[in-house]
Chains A and B, each alone.
Chain A
Amino acid sequence: MRVLFHFYKQLVVTNVFLAFVFSTFAWSAPPIMLKIFAISLPTFAFVLTLFFFSQRSGHQYYLYRNLGYSKRHLFGFAWGINLFLAVAILYGASYYLSA
């Protein structure tokens, strides 16, 4: 788990930044902006983040492989956390807006 979190921490800044960039397409409508942010976190922004990470730091996958983790493990875990965050944000947003 510690190793998987280590990988996630390598991605999170870029992932959140890219999700924010995507969300700015709806700058004028904050509720939609929040939805786009949440949806892009485990989707477009995540795919782009993995692409950039592989291009820039692809050699680091060997570190995780030496600890017994394949790309599938790493991507699955990171995607799972992002999905959880996305659902939490969407749920929180709908609760807040309906209140």
Chain B
Amino acid sequence: MMNKLEIDSIFLSYRDNHILSDCYLECLTGDIIGILGRNGTGKSSLFEVIFGTLKPQNKFIRVDDKLYKKPFLKQLVGYLPQKGMFPEHQSVNRLLRLMLKKQTVELAFLNDQRIQKLWNQNIGTLSGGERKYFEVYIMLHMEHPFILLDEPFAGIEPIYAYEIENLIKLNTKSKGILISDHYYQHVIRVSSKLFLLREGALKAISDPRQLEALGYVPYGTF
């Protein structure tokens, strides 16, 4: 089934500091949208606004042309925050059972060797890469039609970053995915559409060399 997420007219400011102004974005099932931006440009704030946990001065979030104030209440949008969300003392299999349908949990155990290996371990004992892989795995296997991944590649070794890339690519058939990260090489590789969040607005990037011209990466990077 094809779903459509539209984010329109988002204005967010703290006192005189305008974080987001007039952002527009459309994400369809199958899209992987990469959002790049320098520190403090409002990438995480944008995700929180879309998810429904941050209230801006103005916003229109539409899923299949229907307006929602808090899309997370209808499980239309899932959000993996940068700092994670799982309790340290609980095991991987317990959290899988809490978050996913029974059949999906069984498939996870049968089809994913990494999940098999982590099955009885507690979240607190996982390495940074294992933990991130598990978090992304759960998010991508939940029922939400749209998923927001905030810095899924941050602070992890290259092999896990590549595995997370593959995980994301494999799970786009039934979902639209928005990714934000400073590891722009991964984001560029995995994305079907790319945007730069700059001065509160989203600018579409058709060629990575535009990122040089816009001052996101040094000249000569591409």
CB of A10 closer than 8 Å to a CB of B: yes
Number of interface residues of B (CB under 8 A): 22
Bound together, the chains give a CA A3 to CA B95 distance in angstroms of 11
Is B217 at the interface (CB under 8 A from chain A)?
no
CB distance from A7 to the nearest CB of B (A): 10
- The A interface, classified by DSSP as helix, strand, loop or mixed, is helix
A63 touches B85 (CB 8 A): yes
Q: Per a CB cutoff under 8 Å, which of A6, A59, A70 touches B73?
A: A70
**Residues on B with beta carbons closer than 8 Å to the beta carbon of A62:** 53, 79-81, 85
Interface contact A66-B72, CB-CB below 8 Å? yes
Q: Please determine whether B81 and A59 come into contact, CB atoms closer than 8 angstroms.
A: yes
Known: A65-B51, A66-B99. A59 touches B75 (CB 8 A): no
Q: What number of A residues sit within 8 Å (CB to CB) of B?
A: 15
Residues of B within 8 A of A63 (CB): 85-87, 99
Chain A residues within 8 Å of B144, by CB: 66
| B81-A68 in contact (CB<8A) | no
Task: Say whether, besides A2-B98, A59-B81, A65 and B72 are in contact (CB < 8 Å).
Answer: yes
Select which of B79, B84, B86, B98 is within 8 A of A65 by beta carbon. Answer: B79
A60-B85 contact given A2-B98, A66-B142, CB 8 Å threshold: yes
The reply to whether the CB of B78 lies closer than 8 angstroms to some CB of chain A is yes
Which of the residues B73, B80, B98, B139 comes within 8 Å of A68, measured between beta carbons?
B73
Judge whether B70 is part of the interface by a CB distance below 8 angstroms.
Answer: yes
CB closest chain-A residue, reference B94: A6
Q: How far is the CA of A65 from the CA of B78 in the complex (A)?
A: 8
- A68→B85 contact, CB < 8 A: no
Is the CB of B83 closer than 8 A to any CB of chain A? yes
| Also in contact, A70 and B70, with CB within 8 A (given A62-B79, A65-B79) | yes
B residues near A (Cβ < 8 Å) are 51-53, 70, 72-75, 78-81, 83-87, 98-99, 139, 142, 144
* 8 tightest A-B CB contacts, nearest first: A62-B85, A63-B85, A68-B75, A65-B72, A66-B78, A59-B83, A62-B81, A59-B85
